[in-house]
Amino acid sequence: MRAGFEPPLSLDKKPYNGATLIIPKKLGQNRMLIAALKETALYEKRVAITPDIVKKYKDMGHSVAIEADAGKEAQYPNSMFEKAGAEIEKDKQSLLKKADIILSVAPLHKEDVTFLKQGAIVIGSLKPYQNHELLKSFVKAKVTSFSLELLPRITRAQSMDVLSSQSNLAGYKAVIDAASEFGRALPLMMTAAGTIPAARVLVLGAGVAGLQAIATAKRLGAIVSAFDVRAAAKEQVESLGATFIQVHIEETGDAQGGYAKEMSEEYKKAQADRLAEVLTTQDIVITTAQIPGKPAPILITEAMLKTMKTGSVIIDLAVENGGNCEGAVWGKTVHKHGVTIVGPANILSRIASDASQLYSRNSFHFVKNLFSGENGSIPWEDAIIMATALTRNDAIVHPQFNTSTQG
């Protein structure tokens, strides 16, 4: 046995709705091996554990193992992890077999799941709406899994909220990328040779990413406006000094948890008419609109593109889920009717160091809460646990996925 690792946890077998649950004894009291793999998703450069968080896990009495070069692309070399007290593991399969907890940024490959030991726990952004087969593989391997995108919008979960931390950075980076693509300056510039007017920036979707995009564009001196179907967004947009674009129909897109819901056909038509009018004056458009569990709504049609200024730029942050702009292509920059349309493949991996650090902190707070029950057990009735648990050993337990993924 390699130094620094505890033996596998002993297991109890208990019935659970006709299935067999394999539960580590006194899980929170044992010294666990917490591991992070080198991410293999296309364009993914983030890492789920950063060196500063390794120390926090060690202070809790756990061991930490990192797959070799897992943090290299995020500017965290192996030496930084070793200095923090982590073990560097070159054999990925060996690490999967002995880890008690696997922390990941992107969903695991189904092939990797087959190497996990029974009773292991996987925590990450697992994209359950798009990965039904992955849930089945967790059940087959008797692995417990938690998806951090499903965290409830409650105060106690804010320190764990990976969507907010990552969206914040994405909104910032989208504006920086747009400014780079745009062939002019953003702020008003008055010189002896004449005046350059400020660029006009429109943000579609005023969630966390959208609000940060507004704030960043304002800091760069642009004239900013924004649109969102949620009535609650108006005050937030205006508090940042931007103009809120309104659709004059008595309908709101506010849904449970602060998310947006799908709107009526009447509203969509009025929205399209209003946006078509506004888009003709814009230089940069940042789109962020998404609906959980559904394809992103198309907000900018090809007909609208034809009316936009030559040289204008669109950054479509929703492109991974279909996109808000007709013609946007994931991972590519395309040019249509004089408009540059950028479909970022993984915008967070181009700011991977900071994105990894925030993600790692979010995950750490989730792990701390995960074993906050009596004698270090998992409090399965906790609101955060109930909202994020996908599988519990050999059963799919999340109500949104247990019927569509089993069988």
Considering the domain architecture, whether residues 188 and 155 belong to the same structural domain is answered as no
pLDDT below 50 — which residues of the chain?
Answer: 1-28, 404-407
Considering the domain architecture, whether residues 330 and 360 belong to the same structural domain is answered as no
pLDDT score recorded for residue 265? 83
| Residue whose tokens read 């040019």 | 335
pLDDT score recorded for residue 152? 95
Considering the domain architecture, whether residues 333 and 190 belong to the same structural domain is answered as yes
The counts of H helices and E strands in the chain are 13, 18
Considering the domain architecture, whether residues 301 and 152 belong to the same structural domain is answered as no
Q: Which domain holds residue 31?
A: 11-160+352-398
Catalytic residue IDs:
153, 158, 161, 164, 259
pLDDT score recorded for residue 199? 98
Considering the domain architecture, whether residues 318 and 371 belong to the same structural domain is answered as no
| pLDDT tens profile 132-150 | 999 999 999 999 999 999 9
Token pair listed for 118: 């029974």
CATH at 192:
3.40.50.720
| Residue whose tokens read 């947009």 | 237
In a domain, 113, yes or no: yes
Among 345, 366, 385, which residue terminates a domain? Answer: 345
Upper half-sphere CA count for residue 19 (Cβ side, 13 Å): 15
Considering the domain architecture, whether residues 25 and 153 belong to the same structural domain is answered as yes
| pLDDT tens profile 26-83 | 444 568 999 999 999 999 999 999 999 999 999 999 999 999 999 999 999 999 999 9
State how many domains the chain has.
2
Considering the domain architecture, whether residues 337 and 358 belong to the same structural domain is answered as no
Distance separating alpha carbons of residues 296 and 122, to the nearest angstrom: 27
Considering the domain architecture, whether residues 39 and 132 belong to the same structural domain is answered as yes
Instruction: Evaluate whether 363 touches 49 at the Cβ level (below 8 Å).
Output: yes
Considering the domain architecture, whether residues 215 and 269 belong to the same structural domain is answered as yes
Considering the domain architecture, whether residues 273 and 359 belong to the same structural domain is answered as no
In a domain, 340, yes or no: yes
User: What is the arrangement of strands in the sheet containing 87-89, beginning at the earlier edge strand?
Assistant: 87-89, 63-67, 33-36, 101-104, 121-124, 144-147, 389-391
Nearest to 167 by CA among 185, 156, 151: 151
pLDDT score recorded for residue 6? 32
Distance separating alpha carbons of residues 377 and 346, to the nearest angstrom: 36
Distance separating alpha carbons of residues 357 and 362, to the nearest angstrom: 9
In a domain, 301, yes or no: yes
In a domain, 228, yes or no: yes
Considering the domain architecture, whether residues 220 and 331 belong to the same structural domain is answered as yes
Distance separating alpha carbons of residues 247 and 228, to the nearest angstrom: 9
In a domain, 168, yes or no: no
In a domain, 207, yes or no: yes
**Quick count: other Cβ atoms within 10 Å of Cβ 237?**
22
Distance separating alpha carbons of residues 368 and 360, to the nearest angstrom: 12
Distance separating alpha carbons of residues 137 and 177, to the nearest angstrom: 38
Token pair listed for 328: 């946007």
Nearest to 142 by CA among 124, 107, 116: 116
